[in-house]
Amino acid sequence: MKLFPKQGAVEVSAPQLPAGSAKKPAGTLASAWPLCLLLLAATLAVYWPSGDHTFFILDENDHVTNNPYLAQGLTGAGAVWAFTSVAAFNWHPVTWLSHMAVAQCFGMDPRAHHLANVVIHAFASVVLFLLFLRLTGARRQSLLVAALFALHPLHVESVAWVAERKDVLSTLFGFLALLVYAEYVTKDLKPALYWWALVFFLLGLMSKSMLVTLPVVMLLLDFWPLGRYRSGERDAERPRMSSRFLELVREKIPFFLCSLVVGGIAVYAQQRGGATKSFQAVPLLLRVENSLTAYVKYLAKIFWPVDLGVLYPMPSSVALWQATGSLGLLLLITVWVLLSRRSRPYLAVGWFWFLVTLLPVIGLIQVGSQSMADRYTYIPGIGIFVALAWGAPAPLKKTSYGKGVLWLAALALIAASAALARQQLGYWRDSVSILRHTQQVTADNYLVGDMIGITLARKGDWEGAIGEFRAALGINPKDTAVRRNLAIALTEKGDLAAAIGQYAQALRIRPDDLRMRDLLAGALLAKGEFDAAIGECRLVLERDPRDADAMGTLEAALAQKRRREGGGN
């Protein structure tokens, strides 16, 4: 089996452009540097204020600030850890190395870590512009796609959240892989370019596994604008296209194999970390219903990016009319783009780019407690931008004033995106700000209330934290994690009786929670209820004889009980 197609098996000449686009891709990149600088400057200008922001609450764990390997900078031990660990529910060694590199140069100053995200995002936007310019030769449409990617408010989360370095970094490598792939196709299928594309793809996968769908994106680009499926003989067109499709799939076997391996590692990492939800916790039917509605919600947010938050909780149910209506809309759009694939192939490519690249995070494999997330649109949204950039001119291309109208519309769209992105960026100045905003734009979001409580507790505001935890429990009284946090805050405040009551309620919901029993034993010991503390410790040690917390509390409780009873030291 030959990996690389023969010259006669697929078209290897310059990309075939759709009707109405007479520009040639060759020779356009070298003269595009003024537009690249403009795009770079605009992106940096919008996002530069993030340098004054603090770390987000979810950065303050193994992701960044409390990770000892990252704080040490680039070291041999750190590099080994990066490639062998599945910390923070992920295997992304290149992302870990990028965090270490920033720490090596600038320490743990949040400004440097934020601006690193900004710079990577800005360069990714430039590479995206060069990619579509190389593919199509259409400067205006390519610039519009790249500008929307750079400045769309939905992308603020990926850029402003330091722990989402994996988003911007993997996407940069993914765009580089596609750009080199475009060069490979248009330069007589030179093997060296193919292998360089594979190297960039691997770097992207090792930055974030969501890039697993990139080989399918390559196949979409083969259809349009590369035109590698086309045949000059109409009577034999269908069998020829089928044969060419198989050739193009075979060409990408190494890419698919890399996706399969890294995708498997990602699933293992999430399951090992406990991030993957069981079907008992989130039933299959609910996952399917939520996935269908999430696709439509993502589409709506791309066109109307308001009320954006950092966490949208998973609903307990989805109305039947919402799920069936979403399915109907998705099918209707799919049929429409397929019927128009010959006259307007960019619509099909853009739509399937959106559908396919969202698939790994749409929720069929439920990871975490969210129903959707703005950051998940970082790559998928490009498909809609492509359909918009090449599809919008169609009704106006024959009018005398059409070009002027399109220019004004494009500029207005970019300006509105930039203004909304800057506004959304302002909410990310600190944890409480973005979480309060999320509370305002979502309903019954007890998870965000819990996160606000944790943030306030870390600042020593125990009264404020207790209030947030109680409000969260008012929405979901069965969440034992929130109840545990409330009990810890009550303990710190000195209200041991109330804390013990909260631990007891949590254990009535989850009696097998050994960590909760450890905490309860500690609170009982602090309150002087030694027998009760000893009993809790022994229950824990019966199930886990190596529990260090239980052993320590038991020893302390026995010692203090002896002193109280006058039994010596």
pLDDT band of residue 28 (cuts 50, 70, 90) is: low
Q: What integer pLDDT is reported at residue 114 of this predicted model?
A: 97
pLDDT > 70? residue 235: no
What are the tokens at 82? Answer: 């990066």
Of 322, 318, 308, the closest CA to residue 442 belongs to 308
pLDDT > 50? residue 27: no
Provide the phi-psi class of 528: left if phi over 0, else alpha when psi is between -120 and 50, else beta. Answer: left
Residue 71 burial (CB < 10 Å; 0-12/13-18/19+)?
middle
pLDDT tens digits along 245-282:
999 999 999 999 999 999 999 999 888 877 888 888 89
Give the C-alpha separation, 207 to 211, whole Å.
9
pTM of model > 0.95:
no
Using DSSP's 3-state secondary structure scheme, residue 100 falls into: helix
pLDDT above 70 coverage of the chain, percent: 91
Give the C-alpha separation, 158 to 529, whole Å.
49
Q: Which residues pair with 367 in a beta bridge?
A: 276
Count CB neighbours of 431 within 10 A. 24
Residue 1 burial (CB < 10 Å; 0-12/13-18/19+)?
exposed
What are the tokens at 485? Answer: 């946090």
Q: What integer pLDDT is reported at residue 398 of this predicted model?
A: 63
Give the C-alpha separation, 294 to 304, whole Å.
15
pLDDT band of residue 87 (cuts 50, 70, 90) is: confident
The dihedral built from the CA positions of residue 40, 147, 126 and 83, taken in this order, carries a sign that is positive
Please list the residue range(s) of the chain that carry CATH number 1.25.40.10.
Answer: 432-565
Average pLDDT over residues 144-172: 97
pLDDT tens digits along 412-459:
999 999 999 999 999 999 999 999 999 999 999 999 999 999 999 999
Contacts of 3 (CB under 8 A, 6+ apart): 250, 251, 253, 254
For residue 225, is the peptide bond before it cis, meaning its omega torsion is within 30 degrees of 0? Answer: yes
pLDDT band of residue 400 (cuts 50, 70, 90) is: low
Residue with tokens 């970094």: 169
| 451-455, long-range: CB < 8 A, 24+ apart | 451/57, 451/58, 451/311, 453/482, 453/485, 453/486, 453/489, 454/57, 454/485, 455/57, 455/431
In degrees rounded to 5, what are phi and psi of residue 127?
-65, -35
CATH class of 432-565: mainly alpha
Q: Which residues pair with 276 in a beta bridge?
A: 367
pLDDT > 80? residue 80: yes
Residue 341 burial (CB < 10 Å; 0-12/13-18/19+)?
middle
Give the C-alpha separation, 437 to 356, whole Å.
31
> 139-151 vs 402-427: helix axis angle to the nearest 10?
20
pLDDT > 60? residue 549: yes
8 Å CB contact between 148 and 413: yes
Of 126, 149, 275, 116, the closest CA to residue 209 belongs to 275
Q: What integer pLDDT is reported at residue 397 of this predicted model?
A: 64
Give the C-alpha separation, 83 to 181, whole Å.
27
What is the maximum span of the chain, computed from C-alpha positions, in angstroms? Answer: 102
Q: What is the dihedral of CA 523, 527, 532, 534, to 10 degrees?
A: 70
Q: In the chain, how many H helices and how many E strands?
A: 25, 2
Q: What integer pLDDT is reported at residue 567 of this predicted model?
A: 56
